[in-house]
Chain A
């Protein structure tokens, strides 16, 4: 109960900070629109490649939702770095706050804003003619895996932020890691059309787990055993990454 209250309090704090930057809100609402329309136009002919089945926009929509989750959540740790550099984090660390609430609250803020962005992508996809095979349930599956993946990436970003404590280092790592994760997956390209080694690498890629499960649920004939196994893997990874982010404070406290 106390843990929930602390997490709620921290979530509110991060959400408030997001909402109070109107420019940031505007950009993050426009960004998914640009992505969907840009990638949709750019890769339109992909659907003509022999071996590709279905419409590209239906294939792409779950991909863009997941891509948003990865690329936006990567920056979650910036808030932690600011808190550490200012001294706010030290105030929390000498208070009886549940340690897990620091990461959980910050990640919850990220997840909520990504869910809003994802809903915009889905709504827009419907407008340009994408069909969601399994209706609302499918969309819920897609949003759930996007949220899980965002929480994983957000926690990892927070953990790295606590260990690095420098904006430049976090920016470097996030830029280095996130795009390759997106490209080593079926986010933009069907599995059968991927080079062999990329296909092979994608199996160990959490981004791909999320894309597969989200796409199967949203725009294909939902394969529940595939969805179940991928969601299970994501949940396990989330527990591990949240533990990492919370434990990172120990290393930080030892060093100061």
Chain B
């Protein structure tokens, strides 16, 4: 199957110096759920805005279902469904009225419009609430209405910009099931952005990690994880004391790629179960008290750490502090 989305060298700067995209390349195969994973401010939403014709890149080019997003924007808009990060539904209108207008925009009128709207209300569990003003909906219902609005015209590619941000765990699980169902039954290519590692892990058949406006790694979730050798080792220190720390790490065999953030030390080890006791003993011998220690198989967080050079949470924190 040809690529549903292709982007080359996308660059975008806001104002003078806020560099949102810094040469982003992307290929999304048709028929997949593809996740764009990155912390807040990494450039996910900017990428979606450019691919959906809302915004324009300063440089680079992009095609969606083979159509140029700038020169053939009108055709692209017919082929895509977009669920933005901000709610897109009209809060003063009912769910049904929202869907009817969206159908009208896509040239679906008369009996086929009524049919399609009923079908979507049913599919998203909004049949009973369909004639209520949508601002009275719960958060999960509002998000489902947004997704339904993006699907009215049966798009070939669906963009979901942070579809579960702000939802409670139950609504999030519902949304995940719905996204999986869409990919399976409607065979729509889905590009979703997320800053939840577990969301990308659960939903995506392929994912790209985006950091500071660039793709830093790309592949299937398991493929990316298995590229990391060995186990993940994490030690929580009892205090921030650092004396002799580096020497300790060097002295323990089988430990590599160490990184420290505050009181947390993360590293990988060929055989985690063997390396961990040695590491803890060495630390204690140096008078560095250990609060807790764990060994795990590599997670996407480790993948992120490896490619972005900082952990996911830290990147998110840095972003929040900057903002």
A13 touches B90 (CB 8 A): yes
Q: Please, what's the 1-or-0 string for B102-125, where 1 marks a CB less than 8 Å from any CB in chain A?
A: 101111010000000000000000
Within the complex, the shortest CB–CB distance from A224 to chain B, in Å, comes to 40
A1-40 residues with Cβ-Cβ distance < 8 A to B are: 2, 5-6, 9-10, 12-13, 16-17, 20
A86 touches B86 (CB 8 A): yes
Rounded to whole angstroms, the CA-CA distance of A213 and B248 in the bound complex is 91
Rounded to whole angstroms, the CA-CA distance of A46 and B89 in the bound complex is 52
B198 contacts the other chain (CB 8 A): no
Minimum CB distance partner of B77 in chain A: A96
Given known pairs A87-B84, A87-B86, the reply for A256 and B49 (CB within 8 Å) is yes
B87 contacts the other chain (CB 8 A): yes
Within the complex, the shortest CB–CB distance from A175 to chain B, in Å, comes to 25
Rounded to whole angstroms, the CA-CA distance of A180 and B166 in the bound complex is 46
Rounded to whole angstroms, the CA-CA distance of A6 and B86 in the bound complex is 23
A5 touches B109 (CB 8 A): yes
Interface SS, B side: loop
B77-92 residues with Cβ-Cβ distance < 8 A to A are: 77-78, 80, 82, 84-92
Minimum CB distance partner of B104 in chain A: A9
A94 touches B86 (CB 8 A): no
B74 touches A90 (CB 8 A): no
B32 contacts the other chain (CB 8 A): no
B109 touches A90 (CB 8 A): no
Q: Which stretch from B52-60, B177-185, B207-215 is at the chain A interface?
A: B52-60
Query: Chain A, interface size: which category?
Result: 20 to 34
| Chain B residue total in the interface (Cβ 8 A) | 31
Rounded to whole angstroms, the CA-CA distance of A87 and B45 in the bound complex is 13
B101 touches A256 (CB 8 A): no
B93 contacts the other chain (CB 8 A): yes
B22 contacts the other chain (CB 8 A): no
Within the complex, the shortest CB–CB distance from A88 to chain B, in Å, comes to 5
A94 touches B77 (CB 8 A): yes
> Which of A6, A9, A20, A83 gathers most chain B CB within 10 Å?
A9
Given known pairs A13-B101, A95-B105, the reply for A90 and B54 (CB within 8 Å) is yes
A95 touches B56 (CB 8 A): no
**B contact residues around A10 at 8 Å (CB):** 101
**B contact residues around A95 at 8 Å (CB):** 77, 82, 102, 105-106
A-B contact pairs, 22 of them (CB 8 A): A2-B107, A5-B109, A6-B104, A9-B101, A9-B104, A12-B101, A87-B88, A91-B89, A94-B53, A94-B82, A95-B82, A95-B102, A95-B105, A95-B106, A96-B74, A96-B105, A96-B106, A253-B54, A253-B56, A254-B55, A254-B56, A256-B49
